[in-house]
Chain A
Amino acid sequence: MAAHVRVFLCKPGLDGNDRGVLIVGQALRDAGMEVIYSGLKQTPDNLVEAAIQEDVDVLGLSILSGAHMALIPRITSLLREREAEDMIVLAGGVIPAVDAEVLIRDHGVARVFGPGTDTHDIVDYIHERLGL
């Protein structure tokens, strides 16, 4: 049995819009990945605990509420605390380029995929990072 790529797609914070994250989920599933979905309005602590239990390779954070600068650093610092910083953290949603730069530079985010991203680019990026 070949190793499967496991991805945890999450909706942190008070944000009720999951159309985008579910489209990404379907694309990743169709690319042969196992996609676990958190459901809406999750706290950083709950997400990190779930990511650890599910032993995922990739954590995908979808945030459209504008609270990304509060939520994402909290999540990545929890990952470091739990010695799980080897998980690849991707972010998506409405995240301005200036914030994306800071998240990538200072907060352990690997890549930010904004609106209009071709889902194939996300698949390719994950494959490339995992050496597949």
Chain B
Amino acid sequence: MSEASELYQRLLTGDRRAAARLISMVEDGEEGAREALEALHQHSGRAHIVGLTGSGGSGKSTLACRLAQVYRARGKTVGIVCVDPTSPFTGGALLGDRVRMQELSGDPEVFIRSMGSRGALGGLAVAINDVINILDAFGKDYIIVETVGAGQVEIEVVKYAHTCIVVTMPGAGDEIQAIKAGILEIGDVFVVNKADRDGAMRTLADLEMMVETKPGGVGAWKPPVVATVALEGDGVEVLAVEIARHYEFLKESGTLTKKIVGRMKAEVLAILSLQVSEAAGRALEDGGVASSLVDRMVNRDIDPHGAAAELVKELNL
């Protein structure tokens, strides 16, 4: 039996070491993981995937911890994926989300995984999706994916979660402005965390106003705005209720199917673009099948668009 299929068998029996090892394999882009991912696909699709995004320091990790505690108190199991930036210079990362989740540590029913964004050639989106699917097949009821709301890939990933939570806080300068571009559109639930601070009422009012004027239609989901003090646990029960209400809305309105379809398409496209850019990268390297294209571009015989078109032919895409 191959390593991957052995891990897959063990994963289905609840072996956490196997799940962890398989996650490492997909993170490292190991070919062998494919086999296991293929096999576990039929076991995934049951979890409620919750995306959690917002600027650094807004309290995402603490909020994820408190939310997981609420779910645990109801006997539900939780997977948490924390994505933190990798240094583009050294490839290293310091992943500190666990520090904010100490109340969860030691609970075998909460599986927390810290991921560096690594980020080469769109591999991150593929890896995060695979990790979500592994935890889903592993039987977690809720999967919370926490990312800093910067960078296209991170936004894409939370966008395709079933429920996307956007976290902000009072007093972060022009906080509404900061979450406007691209993020306001994807929030299904907005959170003003650290709501015991000065200016919280103002931030809440501003956000509510913004949500109110958001174009929707009759029967469209109106994102609620929830005030929390994650450190104390205040407002977290309300947040859990709103998340559940959103999930019910998705199911009843038929939007859940649309979300699932959107996520599946995004997953395939992420995998394809990774494979294509890897193949193209190899072809363009010195000694690669299309390395002459580079020389021709340098000599101004062909432009990058023309070169891309030739590369598509060369690679038989």
Contact = CB atoms under 8 A, between A and B. Distances in A.
Interface of A: 1-4, 6, 25-26, 28-39, 42-43, 45-47, 49-50, 52-55, 82-84
19 contacts: A1-B29, A3-B24, A3-B28, A4-B116, A29-B87, A29-B93, A32-B91, A34-B93, A35-B92, A35-B93, A36-B98, A45-B106, A46-B105, A49-B105, A50-B105, A52-B17, A53-B20, A55-B24, A84-B17
Contacts of A54: 20, 112-114
Interface string B107-127: 010011110101010010000
A2 to B, nearest CB: 7
B83 to A, nearest CB: 12
A59 to B, nearest CB: 14
B106 A4 contact: no
A32 B90 contact: yes
B20 A1 contact: no
A50 B98 contact: yes
Given A37-B96, A49-B108, A1 B120 contact: yes
Given A31-B90, A34-B116, A1 B123 contact: yes
Contact of A82 (B17, B23, B95, B106): B17
B74 to A, nearest CB: 21
A84 B29 CA distance: 23
A3 B23 CA distance: 12
Contact of B102 (A39, A45, A83): A39
Which secondary structure dominates where chain A touches chain B?
Answer: mixed
A54 B24 CA distance: 8
List the 6 shortest-distance A-B pairs measured between CB atoms, nearest first: A39-B99, A29-B92, A46-B106, A1-B29, A55-B20, A46-B105
Given A4-B27, A35-B92, A35-B95, 9 more contacts: A33-B92, A34-B114, A36-B114, A37-B94, A39-B98, A50-B98, A50-B112, A54-B112, A84-B17
Contact of A31 (B86, B92, B96): B92
A96 B131 CA distance: 42
Nearest to B79: A53
B16 interface: yes
A36 B20 contact: no
A1 to B, nearest CB: 4
Which of B23, B90, B95, B96 has its CB near the most chain A CB atoms (within 10 A)?
B95
Contact of A34 (B17, B20, B29, B95): B95
A121 B113 CA distance: 28
B212 to A, nearest CB: 40
